[in-house]
Structure 1
Amino acid sequence: MPAKPKLHSPEDDLAFMRSIVEGGGRPPMTLAVSYLAGGLLYGLQCLFHVGQAAGLIRWPDLANLVFVALISVSFLSILTWAILKDRKDGLSQRGPMAARTLSAAFSATGMANVSVILIFAIGAVRDNDFAIWLYYAAIVFALQAAAWYMAWTLKRRGWMLATALGGWVTAVALGVLVREPLWYLGVCTVALFLLFALPGWIMFRDARAGSRAV
């Protein structure tokens, strides 16, 4: 006699659909590494500039240029590795809808950041005012705050909300401090470590844990 098929309750069906949409998918390695490496490397660069502004670091101009260039080269190299790893694992084509939505949101934020950098760079050169260029960091942190708030609404993880609020406070602080180089650099340094590197480490840990589970 054939076994009687098991009937699912509406609650079971709802839970199943929710698992498809929300899921427990791990974040893409590219996203995790871009925050972790970017926060650490550019936080180190800001700390270096704090030392310069305070008169503690007095390097030749060429050495300063090489140091700054190495920061960007290192970041791009690490980011390239992460992108290739994600492509190899195929994470851009699979995963829960919430995870893919978050990835798309942060990618869109990154595109907006590039536009902001170009706008303020051109304005600073045209008006011969370096302070105009410094406003770009405030806008970047504001955009990041918006992205993290969206992440919190999807995932409801406390550290995401804390990162969003921290980004908003940082954006306002940087906008106010553009004429105060030492304070500006100090805020940037702390924010890069706390609002980029730390969330990046959390996502990197989750990404590695997920890859081991596969």
Structure 2
Amino acid sequence: MPTKSRPPSAEQDLAYLRSIVEGGGGDSGKGMLTMGALYLAGGLLYGLQCLFHVGQIVGVIRWSGPASLAFVVGVTVAFLVVMTWAILEDRKVGGAARGAMVTRTMNAAFSATGMCNLAVIIIFGVGSARDNDFAVWLYYPAIIFALQSAAWFVAWSLRKKLWMLFMSLGGWLTAVALGLLVREPAAYLMVCTLALFGLFALPGWIMLRGALRARKAA
């Protein structure tokens, strides 16, 4: 007598839906290569630039104007090189490496934050030039860290990884600190330096390491 197939249980249904959301084998982080590389490079390069400016303020670094400008331009050029490599690498691997739905949602949240960043640059850049007050421009990084805080909170809500919550809280505290220190150049730059290393370079390294491990294991 043939055995009757048992109807799927609620637990099996939930497991199936979870496998769809997580892309089959779980959210391995393969789609985080580009974002991880950009965060790591941006945090290290621009953190180094802020540290350079701190050295200028305290008198340790006394470069000429052209040399200082060349250094600042070099930092941006280096970041653009890394960004180009990350984008090309992401395209080379293909759409399969974009990861699970959770990863794609995270990428979308951070991409939306990037769009907001562009608007903020225009608003504060024009306002600073119009009012002839550089301090107005210094509010821009504070807003950026606030937006990053929101994006990391979305990431923590999706992944429930404690370090992501720390990134969100750190971004919020940094935004408040920078907003209060726009008239204190040395303290402002020190906060920026620590935040870029701790809230950009560190999570970038975590994401990049996870993405590379996932791609090697695939």
TM range (shorter): over 0.9
Shift of 1:3: 8.7
User: 1:10 — aligned with what?
Assistant: 10
User: 2:129 — aligned with what?
Assistant: 125
Q: Which runs of 5+ in 1 are unaligned?
A: none
Partner secondary structure for residue 57 of structure 1:
coil
Q: Percent of aligned positions with the same letter in both sequences? A: 62
User: 1:39 — aligned with what?
Assistant: 43
Distance in 2 between residues matched to 1:105 and 1:144, nearest whole Å: 10
Distance in 2 between residues matched to 1:18 and 1:149, nearest whole Å: 21
User: 1:140 — aligned with what?
Assistant: 144
Distance in 1 between residues matched to 2:118 and 2:66, nearest whole Å: 27
Shift of 1:95: 2.5
Q: 1:208 aligns with which of 186, 209, 212?
A: 212
Shift of 1:4: 7.1
1:92-137 C-alpha deviation (Å, 9 max, x unpaired): 7842111101001101101111111121111111110000010000
Would the aligned equivalents of 1:86 and 1:92 in 2 still touch at CA under 8 Å? Answer: no
Mean CA deviation greater in 82-91 or 131-140: 82-91
Q: 1:25 aligns with which of 18, 28, 33?
A: 28
User: 1:87 — aligned with what?
Assistant: 91
1:21-76 C-alpha deviation (Å, 9 max, x unpaired): 14413142111011000000000000000001111111010000000001000001
Would the aligned equivalents of 1:92 and 1:100 in 2 still touch at CA under 8 Å? Answer: no
Shift of 1:8: 3.4
1:122-154 C-alpha deviation (Å, 9 max, x unpaired): 111111000001000000000000000000000
TM-score of the aligned structures, taking structure 2 as reference length: 0.93
Displaced runs of 4 or more, over 6 A = 1-4
Alignment of 1:92-107 (within 5 A): 94-107=98-111
1:155-206 C-alpha deviation (Å, 9 max, x unpaired): 0000000000000000000000000000000000000000000000000011
Counterpart residue type for residue 15 of structure 2: A
User: 1:189 — aligned with what?
Assistant: 193
Distance in 1 between residues matched to 2:159 and 2:197, nearest whole Å: 22
Distance in 2 between residues matched to 1:115 and 1:72, nearest whole Å: 20
Q: 1:75 aligns with which of 48, 66, 79?
A: 79
